[in-house]
Amino acid sequence: MTSADGRGKSRRDTLLPIILCLCFIASSIIFLVQMILKSQKENVAYLYDAANQTRTSILKQIEGDWQTLEGLAVSLRELATLDESQIMTILKDINKENAFIRMGYADINGNARMVDMEDNVQEVNLKGMEFFERALQGGKSISNTFADQQDASGYINYFGVRINDSSGNVRGILCAVHSAAVLREIIDAPVLKGAGYSNILDVNGNYVLKTIKTYEGDILPDNKARIAEAIGGRGRGRGDFVLTDRQGIRQILVILPIIEGQWYQVSMVPVDVLRSSYIQTAWGIMLIIVVACGLFIWLMSRQRKMAVNNQRMLMKLAYSDSLTGLRNFAGFKREAEIFLNRPELTRSELTAYVLWYGDLRNFKLINDVLGYEEGDRLLRLVAEFLRTVEGPDCISCRIAADSFAGITRCVDTRVLDRGLCHIKEYMRNSGMDEQPFMEIPVGVYRFRSGDGKQSLDVLVNYANMAHKIAKERPGSSYVFYDDSIRRRMLEDSALEAEAEAAMADDEFKLYMQPKIDIQNGNRITGAEVLARWLSPGRGMILPGNFIPLFEKSELIVKLDRYMFEHACRWYRIHLERDRSPVSLAVNVSKAGLFQNDFVDFYTDIKDKYSVPDGVLELEFTESMLAADTELFAELVVNLNARGFICSLDDFGSGYSSLNLLKNLPIDVLKLDILFFHKSRDIRRERIVVSNVINMARELNIKTIAEGVEDMDTVEFLRKAGCNVIQGYVFAKPMPQEDFEHLLMENQDGPFGSGD
């Protein structure tokens, strides 16, 4: 996944919770608004219910008074005679039995006589009064509220009921006066727990009866117009709306008709009072929303922080080496792509940079000898050094195990020379001066102008190709990649690909170099079996071209076993021809030695071809034995018990230890050719050789000198007590057929000098 993909995924992961949060907030707000609207409707309905209760009480009071008058009117109509004196007499008695403060009778011209509860009679003219005219026309009516002429502190309402004679003609109006305090007591009853109040208004919006909670002018003129409009035809005397009173308080009003076209009840309550029933719930919900959003934001920030930390950790795991903290190869490729494609880095300037690839020579040996902790410390020190030299023009990484790579600016090779010197100095200063054998072979690839878009894997492979050449050289060194190295690597790959098929086709041939017993008349005592590859397409391929290649893979094990089996097969044929027995020496590689079935395989092949004991010699190089001499000593004893001769090859080629001679029960010691190179002091050279041969003889170890090229050395070795010579002075390696012919020619006598 690219970094752009990672950022896109991160944005999506962040955006989705935000969208969900916004949806939650929007849903909560919609729910809150719906709840408020519903609560408002419920509160208005509740106000209507409260107002209706007041209206019902008012109507009940008015209807009760009308019923009283109507019942009396019916009684009076049934009298045989109906004169005014009789009516007044009756009214005086009845007035004492009800709640009216006065009762009276008025003729159709409005002339009325009113009697109070003390039987006082008052004459008044009601002509022109609205309630009187309504009573004449409609049968019953009630007047608006006005001041009582007989009681300056009181307010009254007139009730009127029409009286008809037996023929149905209007005779007059039965009147009653009721104190307005009765109705006022009803409208003074608390609305919505005392928060609201009611008034009675006429069709024009004027007060008919005010509650004690209302003062004159409480309803503003513009509000009065709205109320009158609601009471009028358009509002049909019913409705609700919000207005602001003179005190600046917003009130919600409901209007209900008491007497259509005459009286209307206006009940009102402050908006805040109605809201208080749901405002706490709304605030509670809002608080929940805020807390939920805050919690969500906290969780989001925490999740984001965790995601960033996880991303950082994943990036570290994905792009950093866990042991050294340096970039791993994946991180190196990621940063190198940016590094090599910087805008300021032109195609021509790119050639000033190199890509290097190196490792620690014999690092496995360091781990085996000093332990893995010391090996890890060494790797961390290398990484620390690489970090100290990093900069705008230098990046590096650990690829795997002890392999490191990097890109650096390198205008000339002195940069590389200084780098190798500095890392060794850094190691010494860090307490690694006790490892003088630490060497760093490096392969270097110089960038070309078009490499900015080239795959880094390919370029690292080029540097690794050069590194493999550097490893073949001693010490800390560097090798620059060129196309010839690539061709060589391709050639090596081709050889590897062809090797197994070549073994199946018997293209690997046995070449034998005779061994001459110089202590017994220069007779042929045996031969060393050497491999030659005779390819139909390539011709003769020498061991130096394929043995090092095979040693890098399991092919060397297959070649070991191939050569051993073919040697045993040849020996079987040799014996079947009644030829005299000779010894055959076969090389064993380090990889072959450490195979689990090594002893069993070699024993089985020996037995398969019925090769007698004591004629097959297995050669081991001293470099193979340094790691664990005790284990190898046990192996030699085991091989001896199965009829094999064991020899130590190339003794003297490295830092040979006399301890090997002391501890290893070997049968043969082969002195390396390096012993016989001309030195500045031949005398010292021969003293060393003579004493090695003498020590071997006293340890019952047979000595063979290989690489001898002149007779003077032969004579010296004969006198020193060396048993056998293998070298060009007598014979070069030859095909097995030529060796067989040589054996036949020299079976009865000494081998002559020369070929």
Question: Between vectors from CA 359 to CA 353 and to CA 365, what angle results, nearest 5°?
Answer: 170
Q: Which amino acid is at 40?
A: Q
Give the confidence band of 656 by pLDDT, cuts at 50, 70, 90: low
Please give the Cα distance from 326 to 320 (Å, whole number). 6
Q: Tell me, what's the pLDDT at 703?
A: 95
Give yes or no for a contact between 214 and 197, defined as CB atoms under 8 angstroms apart: yes
Same structural domain, 178 and 216: no
Give the confidence band of 159 by pLDDT, cuts at 50, 70, 90: very high
HSE toward the beta carbon, residue 190, CA cutoff 13 A: 4
- Eight-state DSSP code of residue 436: T
Please give the Cα distance from 592 to 599 (Å, whole number). 10
Q: What is the mean pLDDT of the chain?
A: 85
In this prediction, residues 342-348 reach a mean pLDDT of: 80
**Is 645 among the domain residues?**
yes
Same structural domain, 554 and 578: yes
Give the confidence band of 237 by pLDDT, cuts at 50, 70, 90: low
Greatest mean pLDDT among 19-33, 234-248, 585-599, 678-692:
585-599
646: alpha, beta or left, given left = phi > 0 and alpha = psi -120 to 50? Answer: beta
Q: Which of 275, 276, 237, 271 is nearest to 257 (CA)?
A: 237
End-of-domain residue from the set 234, 255, 274: 274
Same structural domain, 476 and 497: no
Chain segment 449-499, per-residue pLDDT in tens:
888 778 899 999 999 999 999 988 888 889 999 989 888 888 888 999 999
**Is 63 among the domain residues?**
yes
In this prediction, residues 401-416 reach a mean pLDDT of: 91
- Eight-state DSSP code of residue 248: S
By DSSP bridging, strand 508-517 and strand 111-116 are unpaired
Burial 90-114 (b: 16+ CB within 10 A, else e): bbbebbeebebbbbbbbbeebebbb
Give yes or no for a contact between 156 and 148, defined as CB atoms under 8 angstroms apart: yes
The answer to whether residue 235 scores a pLDDT higher than 50 is no
Residues of the chain with pLDDT > 90, as a percent, come to: 34
Same structural domain, 343 and 262: no
The answer to whether residue 67 scores a pLDDT higher than 60 is yes
Give yes or no for a contact between 253 and 241, defined as CB atoms under 8 angstroms apart: yes
Same structural domain, 497 and 477: no
End-of-domain residue from the set 138, 155, 183: 183
Q: Tell me, what's the pLDDT at 388?
A: 93
Same structural domain, 462 and 505: no
**Is 677 among the domain residues?**
yes
Same structural domain, 457 and 526: no
Q: Tell me, what's the pLDDT at 510?
A: 96
Helix runs in 188-237, H state only: 221-231
Give the 3-state DSSP-derived string for 11-54, with helices as H, strands as E and coil as C. Answer: HHHHHHHHHHHHHHHHHHHHHHHHHHHHHHHHHHHHHHHHHHHH
Chain segment 319-334, per-residue pLDDT in tens:
999 999 999 999 999 9
- Eight-state DSSP code of residue 123: E
Q: Which of 368, 354, 355, 401 is nearest to 382 (CA)?
A: 401
Q: Which of 299, 404, 296, 407 is nearest to 359 (CA)?
A: 404
Give the 3-state DSSP-derived string for 614-674, with helices as H, strands as E and coil as C. Answer: CCEEEEEEHHHCCCCHHHHHHHHHHHHHCCCEEEEEEECCCCCCHHHHHHCCCCEEEECHH
**Is 406 among the domain residues?**
yes
Give yes or no for a contact between 667 and 646, defined as CB atoms under 8 angstroms apart: yes
- Eight-state DSSP code of residue 402: T
Q: Tell me, what's the pLDDT at 603?
A: 97
The answer to whether residue 605 scores a pLDDT higher than 70 is yes
**Is 453 among the domain residues?**
yes
Q: Tell me, what's the pLDDT at 749?
A: 66
Give yes or no for a contact between 125 and 112, defined as CB atoms under 8 angstroms apart: yes
The answer to whether residue 755 scores a pLDDT higher than 50 is no
Same structural domain, 436 and 547: no
Residues of the chain with pLDDT > 70, as a percent, come to: 91
| Burial class of residue 579 (count of CB atoms within 10 Å of its CB; 0-12, 13-18, 19+) | middle
Of the ranges 3-7, 270-274, 314-318, 638-642, which one carries the lowest mean pLDDT score?
3-7
Output the DSSP codes for 474-507. Answer: SSS-EEE--HHHHHHHHHHHHHHHHHHHHHHTT-
Q: CATH number, domain at 703? A: 3.20.20.450
Give yes or no for a contact between 614 and 526, defined as CB atoms under 8 angstroms apart: no
How far is the CA of 273 from the CAs of 40, 217, 250, 276, 472, in angstroms? Answer: 11, 22, 10, 5, 98
Chain segment 520-544, per-residue pLDDT in tens:
989 999 999 999 999 999 999 999 8
Q: Which of 661, 625, 618, 668 is nearest to 643 (CA)?
A: 618
Q: Where are the beta strands (DSSP E) in 233-294?
A: 239-244, 250-259, 263-270
Please give the Cα distance from 350 to 338 (Å, whole number). 13
Place of tokens 């009028």: 232
Q: Which amino acid is at 631?
A: L
Of the ranges 95-104, 229-238, 422-431, 557-566, which one carries the lowest mean pLDDT score?
229-238
Q: Tell me, what's the pLDDT at 236?
A: 55
Same structural domain, 125 and 244: no
In the chain the first and final C-alpha atoms are separated, in Å, by: 68
- Going by C-beta distance under 8 Å and a sequence separation of 6 or more, which residues neighbour residue 13? 307
Give yes or no for a contact between 152 and 141, defined as CB atoms under 8 angstroms apart: no
Please give the Cα distance from 586 to 569 (Å, whole number). 13
Give yes or no for a contact between 480 and 444, defined as CB atoms under 8 angstroms apart: yes
Give yes or no for a contact between 207 and 132, defined as CB atoms under 8 angstroms apart: no
Please give the Cα distance from 273 to 276 (Å, whole number). 5
End-of-domain residue from the set 124, 150, 183: 183
Q: Which two tokens stand for residue 726?
A: 């293998």
**Is 289 among the domain residues?**
no
By DSSP bridging, strand 121-125 and strand 140-142 are unpaired
Please give the Cα distance from 66 to 142 (Å, whole number). 9
In this prediction, residues 611-620 reach a mean pLDDT of: 95
| Burial class of residue 51 (count of CB atoms within 10 Å of its CB; 0-12, 13-18, 19+) | buried
Greatest mean pLDDT among 106-115, 263-272, 499-508:
499-508
Chain segment 12-61, per-residue pLDDT in tens:
666 777 787 788 788 878 877 787 777 777 777 878 888 888 888 889 98
Give yes or no for a contact between 278 and 214, defined as CB atoms under 8 angstroms apart: no
| Burial class of residue 70 (count of CB atoms within 10 Å of its CB; 0-12, 13-18, 19+) | middle
HSE toward the beta carbon, residue 755, CA cutoff 13 A: 4
Q: Would you mind telling me the total number of residues written for the chain in this entry? A: 755
**Is 291 among the domain residues?**
no
% helix / strand / coil in the chain, to the nearest 5?
50, 20, 30
Domain region containing 257 = 189-274
Please give the Cα distance from 124 to 113 (Å, whole number). 6
Total number of domains constituting the chain: 4
Give yes or no for a contact between 554 and 499, defined as CB atoms under 8 angstroms apart: no
Q: CATH number, domain at 456? A: 3.30.70.270
- Going by C-beta distance under 8 Å and a sequence separation of 6 or more, which residues neighbour residue 360? 366, 378, 382, 402, 438, 439, 440
Instruction: Name the more confident of 401 and 623.
Output: 401
Q: Which amino acid is at 109?
A: N
Please give the Cα distance from 285 to 279 (Å, whole number). 10
HSE toward the beta carbon, residue 464, CA cutoff 13 A: 12
The answer to whether residue 249 scores a pLDDT higher than 60 is yes
Helix (H, G, I), strand (E, B) or coil at 536: coil
Give the confidence band of 753 by pLDDT, cuts at 50, 70, 90: very low
- Eight-state DSSP code of residue 640: H
Q: Tell me, what's the pLDDT at 655?
A: 52
Same structural domain, 654 and 741: yes
Q: Which two tokens stand for residue 749?
A: 């006598």
By DSSP bridging, strand 668-671 and strand 702-706 are parallel
Q: Which two tokens stand for residue 728?
A: 């060009």
**Is 297 among the domain residues?**
no
Please give the Cα distance from 373 to 377 (Å, whole number). 6
Helix (H, G, I), strand (E, B) or coil at 691: helix
Same structural domain, 118 and 146: yes
Q: CATH number, domain at 129? A: 3.30.450.20
Same structural domain, 146 and 263: no
- CA 605 remoteness from chain centre: 58
Other beta carbons within 10 angstroms of residue 699's beta carbon come to 13
